[in-house]
Each structure stands twice: as structure tokens, then as C-alpha cells.
Chain A
Amino acid sequence: MEYNIVLESFEGPMDLLMHLIDKAKIDIYDININEITEQYIEYITKMDELDLEVTSEFLVMAATLLEIKSKMLLPQKKQENANNQLEIEEADPRLELVRRLIEYRKYKYISQELKEFEEIQKKVYFKPQEDLSYYAGDDEVLGEMDLDKLVKALNNLMLKNKKNKTFINVSEVQREEYTLEECMKKIEAKLEDKGMIKFSSLFDDSSSRAEIVVIFLSLLELIKVKSIIVRQKDNFSDILIAKQARRDD
């Protein structure tokens, strides 16, 4: 028999097995394990592109089928004097698989039902919640304002903005304005000059955040290479920087 089965249409080994059983039009309670195993293995050998994740699960099922097949070949023992424990073990080797297939088929069937519900529900539209704050009449905030105050507030805001303005051009990668090396050299030069300096003297109000960060990083680097020592009296107080006396190795 030739099939042209597309792998994607199966949701796993159970789905494939279900498909083979339906196709062969056989009773699920009386599966011809020989035939099904053959077809199953034929199918998985035909899978050209081996998706390992899927394959391992398909292989487990193949092994299960072969195990059942071999058990079926063993002669059945007589059960006359067997206790319950033994009877269960000697039940049809296909039982466990059939149980799983039936369980799987239930949910497969339900999932198709849900798919129909989904199709219907997709044609239904819901309205998003109305933004009631618009109607809430909270314009009292502006009650005490007059035009002059508003203009003043706006001016203040614009002034503040000007100060903090940093242009970020996202479409271009900007060259780093401050490099660690330069900053370290600058600090060292200043130290040569004065002997001891304050951290705050290394930058002024116009310095950008990036500049201050780089200055701080270079301080850390200088501490690491043991060319300076720093002191700070309290939390948040200014940091004092001094040259570390070089020890000759």
C-alpha cells in the first residue's frame, strides 16, 4: 500500500496510530497488531526529514508495538488456578495500548468540537470597556490656574528640558565621546599637578551623565591598578582622590 502522508498532519505517535487503525477500518478492540506494526514502521521509515524530537516519541511507540507483537506470539498459559494478580498480567497484551488509544481518541474528538466552537466564537465581536475617566469631570486641578501661571510653568519646564537635553540618535551608532583611557590620563595628569583632588572637581554642571559615569569608571580602574587611593568621609559626601605611592617591585 502506498500512502502520501504529510508528517505535519499528525500530532504524534498516538495520532498516527489512530489514523492507521481508522484507515484499515478495523475494530479498535481487535487490532491486528502484526499489520498495524508493519504499517507503522513503514511510515516512520518513510519519514525523510528526521526531526529528532518527534522521532524519539515515534520510536518509543514502535518499540511498544513490537513488544506487544512478541507477547502475542507467546503461548497463553492456562489460568485455571491463577490468582487475580496473575490474571491481570496474562490479559490481552494489547489492552494497555487500546486503553491509551481510547483515552486519546476522546480528547481528539473533543478538540474537534472545540475547534467548531472556536470557529463560531471568532465571528462574535465584543466591545472594549469604555474609558469612563473622560466623563469623570476631574478638571478641578486646573481650577486655580490663570494664564500667567501656566505660561510660567511652561517656561520653567522648557528651561529644565533644555538643560537635560541629550540627543539620542537611534538610527546612528554614536561614537563614544569619553573613553576610559582618556579619562584615566586626565585624572592622572590632574593628580600630578595637585596631589589631591575632589571627585566633584573632575566634572561640572554641563557634564553629561555618560561623562560622569566614565569618570567614575576610570576611578575604579585606577584603584584597581593601585595608582590612586580614594577616601570618603560619609555616605554621599565628596570623594577625595590621592596618588598612591608607587611601590617598586
Chain B
Amino acid sequence: MEYEVVIGCEVHVELKTKTKIFCSCPTDFGGEPNTHVCPVCLGLPGTLPVLNKKVLEYAIKAGLAMNCEIAHFSKFDRKNYFYPDLTKAYQISQFDLPICKNGYIDIETSEGKKKIGITRIHMEEDAGKLVHQGATITTSAGSLADYNRAGVPLIEIVSEPDMRSAEDVLAFLTNLKAIIEYTGVSDARMEQGSLRCDVNLSLRPAGQKEFGTRAEIKNLNSFRAVERVIKYEIDRQTDILESGGKVVQETRTWDDGKGMTFSLRSKEDSDEYRYFPDPDLTPIIVTDAYIEELRASLPELPQVKRARMIEEDGLPEYDAGVITASKALADFYDGVRAHYDDAKKISNWIMVELLAKVNAEGMELEAVKIQPEQMAALLKLVDSGDISGKIAKKVFAEMFATGKDPADIIKEQGLVQISDEDALKEMVSHVVEANPKSVEDYKAGKTKAMGFLVGQIMKQSRGQANPAVINKLLAEKLDSM
């Protein structure tokens, strides 16, 4: 039977505030265990939470960037369950009145464009970290609890089950990540756990309206894992259905090493969270004025930026898509563009040279030493004929390594292009005399020989000769022979 895949995502994004959601402990990563904690985030008896204003601001900004309605009245609720990483036996979260709802994110895939609905975005606190003593949670003799992460602010973004393929999901996550990065509310780095994704996946016979039973796969922390999980779950659920079985509604976990998901707990155990309004926290009233103030403070978002690059700068859709998928890259592009006009040239350099280097080094874009002004200066030096394109690549490599100005590198290494005809004529004569065979070939009509001779001259000039001048001089020389 043909099955249709139905996928929805729950994405947890860690907000980039200085302090935790309900206390003044720092959110910094690292540090010795249990040193970024206080009585409040440890949930010690008698302590009380007070909401970090920045968390509300960031949650609303994220909601606006995803086209959500912002709730004028919102509140916090307690989600009650026992687990050693939870200091109060409840997580402070939002249940029936989340801060944002009914938004969407645009995606574009090989199937075309579509909107993925955002059901809701709510604020909540993170739990602590458990270190298992032993190979895995199931074989460990015990566990150790570190509460440095307890109380770090999160937003949970819940999508509608609007996705139908891994490609949809990856496009959704890519755009979601970019939007979050642009708004500046989070670093949104999956590798570091500041963006985590749960995938809800079910199958239904093609054409059927009702959804099938879904499995929820928790805590995926790379795009690659998301892609693999989806493929794996589609196969697993197809096998179950084909063999006449029933998919169990449950939470599953992904073992990246084994490339398999396995059951964590069935839904009946975990469903009973006994949500109720947290009496320790007061309601949140958001005014239109505040919403508009935050809307006005939002930077240009990826979709808009992408459209601008295509329409105003004339970039191909592909280039604009790659550049806007990362805020750092788009910022770099904009920075260069402010000093240099030829958008396509900028894009080529970014897509080919810059990304190649960054990927080869496996580094973060934020760590790139080259400033946009320096990049613009390099392109101008090529345009003016001061250096050749080939030399420019060499200069670029040096800029990438050291962060130095291109002009300084050129001066230090003596890389200025030689366009002086007198100086080059000598080199041309020299090469022509040394390669009589090639000259003969050229005369016999083998134009390829010309290329060989240019190459030899460039080699002698250590790449600094102006190729246009060489071509002209060489042609004159050969024709005169």
C-alpha cells in the first residue's frame, strides 16, 4: 500500500539571555558542576521564581518573526513529574495560554513553496543534566545530577503536522534556525544543544484524511540525525503496517551509533502531568504598544533579505538561499555589499572561496577573521588590475589565516601585478626564445601553443604578470616573427 508520511516538529530553543528564566544565575556553558545555581533554581524549600523580562521579550520576538499572534494575556503553569534532573518535581511551563500561537514559516523544496504552520510557542525552564555512571542509561550503576542547566530559559516551538518528507523537515528547520539567529534571541546551534528537535511522525494510507498513530522521537541534535530518524521511522512504521501490526503511540529515542530508534516509554505513563496555573507567578499582560515596539526592533528576516538579494542585487535564487540561511553569512554579504557594488562577484567569493575554507577548517562563521571591508578592498584590487584573480586567491588565503588587510599582504609579499610593458617585453622575448617548438606550432596554426607560452611567462613572473598585457605583447611578438 502507498503511505503518506505526516510529520510535525517540536523545537526547543535555548534563549540567549545572561541569566536564567526565574533567577539571576548565569546561563553560561561550562563551569564546574553545580556552580551556576542558587536556592531558586535548586528549588530549595521556600524559594520563589521571578520572571526574567528578557525571556518574555525574546519569546515575543521569536513569535513575531514566525508570524504568530501574541497573547495579550498569558500565564505560567506547572507540569508535574518526578525525575532526578528536575529540582521541584515540576517544570514551569505554559499550558493552555502560550505567549504565541497561529504562526507559520515559509519553506521551499523541490516540490515548490509551502507554509508550515506554527501551532504555538511557549516559554519554559530547562532541567538539569544527568551524568550516567556506566556505558548507557540502562547499564549504569547510578547517575549524578548537575543543575547548572536547570532554569535556563527555553522556548518550545510546536509546528502543525504539515510536513510530508525529510526534505520538508530539513527546509523547515533550516529556515527556523535562520529566523531565530536573525532575531538574535538564540545562537540556535544544534551541535551545542541550544536547538533541539523532537519529531512526531505517523503514516496514513495515501488519500486517507485521519492521521495515523504517531511516534515521538526526542532530542535530536543534528540535521543529519533528523534526516536519518525520519528515514528509519518511515521504514519501521511501514514494516509494522505492512505486516498487519499497529504503531504504538509512544516516545522513542534515537541511538545515533546504532542508527535506530527505540522505545523510551509508552504514552500512558507520561501523559498525566497535572498541569495547573503556577500560583507563585503572576499573569503576563502584553500591550499592543509593547508588541509593536518589539516588532519595530526586529531585524530584516531571512525571507525578506533573500527576496531583496534576488530582486535588487540580481543574485540567483540558489545563491540568495545559501547566503541567507546563515545570519553570519548574510551579515558578511551585506557588509561587503556596503563597500562594493558587484553582488554576483561577492556571492561567488562567498560561496566558493569563503565557504570552502570555513568547511575545510570545520569552524564557525563567526570566527572568520576577514572583515567585510577587507573583502571589498580585495575585490576592488582585482577590478583595478592591481592583482590578478589568481593572486587574489592567494591574498584571500592569507587574509583568512591572519585577518590582515589585502593591501598589506600584497605589499609584504610583493604580489602587485606587473603591467609595465617594458618589463614584460623582456620576459616575453625570453620565453619565446626558449621555446622554439611552441613558436613553430603556433605558426603552423596550433593556437593552443599560445596558451602554453602565456603560462610559461606567468610562471616566470610568479603569477604577477598582467595576463591581458602578456597576451597583447606575446601576440605582437609572434606576429612580428
A, B: real partners? no
Interface set of B (CB-CB < 8 Å, partner A): none
Interface set of A (CB-CB < 8 Å, partner B): none
